[in-house]
Structures are given as structure tokens and as C-alpha cells.
Amino acid sequence: MTTAFLSDAHVVGGQDPVQRRVVRFLDTVEADELVVLGDLFHHWWGFAQWTQVADIDATVRPTCAALERLVGRGVHVVYVRGNHDFALGPFFTETLAVEVAGWHVRTVHGAQVVVAHGDECDGSLGYAITRRVLRGSLFAAMIESLGPVRAQRLLSRLAGSSRDHGGPPGPLLARQQAWATARAAEGADAVVVGHTHCPQDLRLAGGRYLNLGDFGRDRTWLLWDEEGPRLLVTGEDGDASASQPWTQRP
């Protein structure tokens, strides 16, 4: 089985060139399984009334339609919740019937692989409080009461205007790598994450740390087949078939 991994496109919609790149990638990737490690959207809330592509906000509808086409081709999709798109809703869970999960261990070509968005490694008090509030029942009730139009405006403000990771990622990268080392000590062969927007392929004690980077900026994604895992860079337009090997920066 060939597995592709993608994260952190942060699609915002409208005339967003990143959305066009994501759509092209989803339409051209050749894999048996696609694992999305969160933040495909810059902000997303799966409203109860969003059950079909036609119901979804027009700004992100092309990405959703491409996902529907991908599932229609028989590709198994796993969606690991990100910090920008954790409330996936019925379009994903029921209409597409994708496998929705938090971080977990899965078998990929015989290897035990931890897949996670990567924000689990952020142990700061501020982030912990924000995460608890945004994922709580009171916030969910407020968003649903606002309805899609007004809620979208609020979610957009909360997500911020920039798709870049806020602040220098160095300390969080170090925490991700420490977390990956701990998972390797527990028996994982590899840890695949996103969130920090820094593509990396590192050998750690007892395992491998693979960071998917920023698909919107770096166009990086991971392919895992009989040759093993390797980070690739798509064509400028997102064409997966035109991908080239990613080169580690000095």
C-alpha cells in the first residue's frame, strides 16, 4: 500500500493560489491512502448543515470537492485533527466517511508510525488554555448558535491573517523532536508531524522524525511506499506527478 501524507496548507479560499495547488495535488496524487495531518484549512468548522459540497462555504468548496473526488477514486483518507481544523463535522465523518482521529500509531508498510499534527508537543500554559477553551462545549455551542456566516467571520479573526507559524519555531521544533524520541523509545519506527511549518527528515535515537513542512510555501509532502518514506516537493501548481525529492536545508 502506498501512503501519502499532507499537512499545513492553511487554505483560506477565494482566489487563494494555495487552494488551487491543493486541488491539483488531490486530483493528481497516486496513493492508496492519504493521511492529512491537520491544518489543511486556515480555519474550518464542520457545521451540522454542511453535509454536501454544495452546502459548504464557497471559498473552500473547491478543496472539499477535490477531497470528494479523491474518496470517489477509492483512496482511503485519514484526517488527523489540526489546531485550525479540529471540528470536522458531518461532511467529513458521514458524507466522506473518512477516518478522523487524533494522534495515533498506525502501520505503514510494516513500520509502526506515529502520526500527529504536532501541536501536542506545545506544553506552554497559554496554548493549553487556548486549546481547552476552543475545543470546549461552550465554544462549540457559541459557534453553532452564530451560524455559518457570522461564525466564519469570527473564526477568520481567531485564525489570524497570516498563515505563517507564529514566532520562531526553534523551541517547538526541539520539543517535537524530544517527543518523537520518546515515541521511538516506546517502539515507534518513525514519527510524522506538521504544525511547525519546517520540513525535516532526521534520524533520532531509535527512530526517524519527519516533518511535513508548509505545503502552501514549501509544497512539501511525504510519500511512503516500498522504497520507504521520502519527502517530495510538488510542481509549482501542486501537480503530485511532477514532484521532485526534497533537499534538506543546511
Phi, psi of 79 (to 5 degrees): -120, 110
Q: How many residues does the chain have?
A: 250
Amino acid in position 238: G
Domain that holds residue 121: 3-245
pLDDT confidence of residue 162: 66
Amino acid in position 176: Q
Q: Over 80: is that where the pLDDT of 249 sits?
A: no
CB 45 within 8 A of CB 90: no
pLDDT confidence of residue 14: 78
The proportion of the chain whose per-residue pLDDT surpasses 90, expressed as a percent, equals 89
Using a 10 angstrom Cβ sphere, with 0-12 exposed, 13-18 middle and 19 or more buried, the burial of residue 138 is: exposed
- Interval 128-165: pLDDT, tens: 999 999 999 999 999 999 999 999 999 999 998 766 65
Query: What pTM did the predictor assign?
Result: 0.95
Does some domain include residue 78?
yes
How far is residue 194's CA from residue 117's CA, in Å, rounded to a whole number?
5
Choice between 3 and 121, residue whose per-residue pLDDT is larger: 3
How far is residue 48's CA from residue 64's CA, in Å, rounded to a whole number?
15
Range with the poorest average pLDDT among 4-13, 103-112, 156-165, 187-196: 156-165
Count how many domains the chain has: 1
Measured on CA atoms in the order 44, 50, 56, 61, is the torsion positive or negative? positive
Q: Over 80: is that where the pLDDT of 53 sits?
A: yes
Q: Over 60: is that where the pLDDT of 126 sits?
A: yes
CA-to-CA dists, residue 166 to 111, 169, 170, 195, 197, angstroms: 33, 8, 11, 10, 10
Which CATH number fits the domain that encloses residue 34? 3.60.21.10
Q: Over 90: is that where the pLDDT of 168 sits?
A: no
How far is residue 124's CA from residue 132's CA, in Å, rounded to a whole number?
12
Does some domain include residue 113?
yes
Does some domain include residue 33?
yes
How far is residue 93's CA from residue 104's CA, in Å, rounded to a whole number?
18
Strands 244-245 and 228-233 turn out to be antiparallel
* DSSP H helical ranges for the chain: 17-28, 61-72, 90, 125-134, 137-159, 170-185
DSSP state of 191: E
pLDDT confidence of residue 141: 96
Q: Looking at mean pLDDT, say which of 8-17, 32-41, 154-163 comes out highest.
A: 32-41
Angle at 13 between CA 117 and CA 143, to 5 degrees: 70
CB 26 within 8 A of CB 56: no
Does some domain include residue 250?
no
**Confidence band for 181, pLDDT divided at 50, 70 and 90:** very high
Q: Average pLDDT, stretch 223-235?
A: 97
CB 54 within 8 A of CB 97: no
How far is residue 180's CA from residue 88's CA, in Å, rounded to a whole number?
26
pLDDT confidence of residue 170: 81
- Interval 190-223: pLDDT, tens: 999 999 999 999 998 889 999 999 999 999 999 9
Q: Over 60: is that where the pLDDT of 179 sits?
A: yes
Q: Name the grid cell of 152.
A: 466564519
Does some domain include residue 88?
yes
Measured on CA atoms in the order 244, 237, 210, 188, is the torsion positive or negative? negative
**Confidence band for 13, pLDDT divided at 50, 70 and 90:** confident
